[in-house]
Structure 1
Amino acid sequence: MKRSIVALTVLLAFGATAAELQKRDNVFIENAANHAISIHDWDKAENSASTFPHAYKFTHSYKLNTSGVVPQEFKPVDLGLNKIVVSDIEGDINLETFLRERIKNHSLVVIKGDKILHEHYWNNMTPSSTHLDVSVTKSFTSLAAQKAVGAGKLDMDKKVIHYLPELKGTVWETATVQEVSDMRTSVIQPVSAHKSWDDRMTISQSYNSDTGVKDYPNGVSDYFPLVTEFKYSMGETYTYQCVNTEVLGKVVEKVTGENLADIIEVIFQDVGVENNAYLMADHAGGAMASGGLNAGTKDLARVGAMLLNDGKNYQGMQVISSAFIDSLFDGNELVRSAWTKSKEAALADGWYKDQFRLLNLDGHEILAMVGIHGQVVAMERSTGTVIAMNGGYPQTETPRMAISIFHKAIPAILKAAASK
């Protein structure tokens, strides 16, 4: 009990430890250039197999240290991945082949309660490798927001400008923090095919070099004033846009007085993870709230297990509010209605709430963190099963990827896990 009280005090303090800001790894970048991968194109799908396990080295980043709760160990039980089949254009295909060759999966961990049913690390990865998790990061930014809510520092129903008055005159002047968190702002940005962000935003974040330092000396915060228009009525439609998460991250930092990286570091520590993680940052030290996390695949699965355990780690310490997790599974009329007006509604019944998706897939209700190249943490509450995967699918935001992962691979894994 004494240990739990101390741990909760650390949680409320947010900044009990400090994530370490580090510069680009110029030696690594120079070596990548020798293999025809430059800082300007490291994130292109062509390079993903080589770069995604090392993505944080191409940018400024925060090192998230693991010192905290001892990681949970799991009892090995064989899922029999190579005996599972899914359908593809030539008929049934072995799931292992489907994952490796068709989805371009790099790693997969499946846990159920205290059992680990499967883990593999392909693409020269190991159990200690991190991997770019892209938009899985959004869910962690939401968890950080909920830490602020739990500490009485953040009211999600207040307007964004209550916390960030500098955003008056932008699209967020009329938006609540909750509408931002639910992606219900429908902001208008110049977005090219297969992207959910404005290239000016990534320039402001020094994602592909420091060419944006002159125009955006304060990083992504200097990009926000350029976003002044939205379509539909505020709060009406779910439109997936990365800039909303960046705003949410800045709200969290404002109300807590802490760097987003520090808060996420504490969440990882209180869950109990094995490997240091990294959160990419802009040149001004601003954490990339919408897509900068680099973490170990089994550690992502441990976070998923915590969420399925009503927000408690395996030792029983409350890490995230159980009421918040219930709200993700329950949804509400606002997010249900907003989903029906989105392009994702054609792929699955569900909703998007607080940077998580709730998806109904082949009889399974799945809470999911999702990244655009095949990075997923899928959680089935009814069975306590967590599927964590990282990958480098060669194109973003395509129906083919969504169908392959969510309508084929995940239901097949869950069906096989049901008897374990």
Structure 2
Amino acid sequence: MMIGTEPLVTLADWQSPPHNRYTFGRMRQMVPTARVAAGPAPLRLPEDGALDLDLPVGNETVRSILERTYTDGFMVLHRGTVLAELYPGDLDPDRTHMLFSVSKSIVGTVAANLIATGTLDPDAPLTAYVPEFADSGYAGATVRHILDMRSGIRFSEEYLEPGAEVRLLDQAVGWVPRVDDWVPQSMYGFLPMLKAARPHGGPFEYRSCETDVLGWVCERAAGERMPSLLSRVIWSRIASDDMDAGVDRAGAVFADGGLAATLRDVARFGEMLRCGGRNGTDQVVPQSWIEDALRGAPDSRAAYAESPIATPLPGGMYRNQFWVPHADRQVLLCLGIYGQSIYIDLDRDVVVVKLSSCPTPVDDELDNASFAAAEAIAASLA
């Protein structure tokens, strides 16, 4: 049913097709949000508009891949200049779009700033900042363990299984209807209930809860709630428009996937990283954080290869809340479900941003096609 031009959606179906083509660009109408303020001097994005969308990608083209992968917004930067800016769906330049797990990389840069100022110690136990974890599965885990998703916590990321921990977390946050009365009605009530499956510091395993724990730790270390903290250390220093941050009933930001921003501001974030963490003369994120992500720890690739769950990007690794696909090239990826991505090629000075509303949370074929398109674009600009 429709009233005027707006679909009738509920908490049970707002993330499902066909509604998600509408809702992903209107998060503040769907769930409670807080404002993350932008600043007076956003990173400049001069325009050129010279990208050939008919560039071959295997048996396809960039254009055909964009058309079949539910693209809502697409932008390509080369050396800071906009070569393409497209809004094939319902999105427009002034509206924020949900980033899902791209949020993880953004929250990771908040931690980077706190570490650089000595406010946060990556080698400290989580309990040094959040004593509530003392009797939980996170007891004994360090900040570094969760930055690289190498804690031993038990947490299923199977989005389509109702009993999976990721779905229980959605209940706690209020993003899906409550069907389990025992689930706390707050994220910070839920996280200390998680149990360990193995010792901390072992193989990589992608789990969204790690970033929610990181967000809580950052808040406690800084003595500041995430909306103002994120604005102060990152967003006000690069962005043109305010960001939306999904919050639970207690006002805690859903750090693992609750951020929403305009296409241009997402590109600004990627460009800042490409420039070694700088916006002009402002060192927004320590360059050493980016270099460390690209280099990894001595065992990062081995830990990735030993993951107990299927992982994308064979031969890659995960470090500092970034995906690092190549051992021989400087490329960072920020990835989110339903087709969100930032591709940052520091060797070729290229940033590719894609915001989407795919029908399912994970579709390997669509995700691989989008990655191949970004790789082809970067290669063509080398």
Residue aligned with 1:333, SS: coil
Task: Give, as a single letter, the amino acid of the residue that structure 2 aligns with 1:228.
Answer: K
Residue 272 of structure 2 aligns with which residue? 306
Partner SS for 2:174: coil
Q: 2:55 aligns with which of 54, 60, 84?
A: 84
1:8-407 correspondence to structure 2 within 5 Å: 35-81=7-53, 83-87=54-58, 92-101=59-68, 103-189=69-155, 192=158, 194=160, 197-208=165-176, 216-217=184-185, 219-231=186-198, 233-266=199-232, 267-271=234-238, 273-313=239-279, 315-342=280-307, 343=309, 347-360=313-326, 364-406=329-371
Matched, 1:411 2:371: no
Give the 3-state SS of the residue equivalent to 2:377 in structure 1: helix
Q: CA deviation at 1:35?
A: 2.7
| CA-CA distance at 1:295 after TM superposition | 0.4
1:71-123, Cα deviation, whole Å (9 max, x unpaired): 41313140111x21223xxxx2332122122x111111111113211110121
C-alpha offsets along residues 226-275 of structure 1, whole Å, 9 cap, x if unaligned? Answer: 211223x321111111111111100000010111111222311111x222
Give 1:23's aligned residue: none
Q: Structure 1 residues 159, 59: closer, same or farther in 2, change over 3 A?
A: same
**Aligned-pair distance for 1:147?**
1.6
Alpha-carbon offset, residue 345 of structure 1 = 5.1
Per the alignment, do residues 160 and 99 of structure 1 end up closer, same or farther by CA in structure 2, a change over 3 Å counting? same
Structure 2 CA distance for aligned equivalents of residues 394 and 129 of structure 1: 21
For the residues of structure 2 that align with 1:348 and 1:374, how far apart are their CA atoms?
19
Cα pair distance change 1:78/1:182, threshold 3 Å: same
Structure 2 distance, partners of 1:166, 1:344, is: 31
**1:120 maps to amino acid:** L
1:194, distance to aligned residue in structure 2 (A): 4.9
Q: CA deviation at 1:213?
A: 9.6
Q: Which amino acid aligns with 2:374?
A: I
Partner amino acid, structure 1, of 2:242: N
Between the aligned partners of 2:73 and 2:34, the Cα distance in structure 1 is 23
| Runs ≥4 residues deviating over 3 A | 30-34, 189-197, 209-215, 343-347
Q: Using the alignment, how far apart are the partners of 1:332 and 1:355 within structure 2?
A: 13
Structure 2 counterpart of 1:241, which letter? R
Aligned partner letter, 1:320: V
One-letter code of the match for 1:392?
S
Q: Which region of structure 1 is more displaced relative to structure 2, 54-63 or 34-43? A: 34-43
Change in CA separation of 1:357 and 1:34 when aligned onto 2, cut-off 3 Å: closer
Change in Cα spacing, 1:257 to 1:72, as seen in structure 2 (3 Å) is same
Check whether the contact 1:311–1:320 (CA below 8 A) recurs between aligned residues: yes
Q: Tell me by how many angstroms 1:56 deviates.
A: 3.0
Unpaired runs of 5+ residues, structure 1, are 1-29
Amino acid at match of 2:78: K
Per-residue CA shift, 1:12-49, capped at 9, x if unaligned? xxxxxxxxxxxxxxxxxx96997342122101244221
Partner of 1:4: none
SS at match of 1:116: strand
Residue 245 of structure 1 contacts residue 290 of structure 1 at CA under 8 Å; is this kept in 2? yes
Q: In the aligned structure 2, how far is the partner of 1:112 from the partner of 1:33?
A: 37
* Cα-to-partner distance string for 1:365-407 (whole Å, 9 max, x where unaligned): 420110011111110111211111100122223321332122x
How far is the alpha carbon of 1:186 from its aligned partner? 3.8
Matched residues in 1 for 2:3 and 2:190: separation?
A: 31
Structure 1 position 412, deviation (Å): 1.5
Q: Which of the pair is proportionally richer in helix?
A: 1
AA aligned to 1:47 is H
Q: Does 204-213 or 139-148 show the bigger shift? A: 204-213
Matched residue of 1:262: which SS? helix
Distance (whole Å) between structure 2 residues aligned to residue 345 and residue 359 of structure 1: 11
Q: Which amino acid letter does the alignment assign opposite residue 173 of structure 2?
A: Q
Q: Percent identity?
A: 23
- 2: distance between equivalents of 1:117 and 1:197? 41
Paired letter, 1:411? E
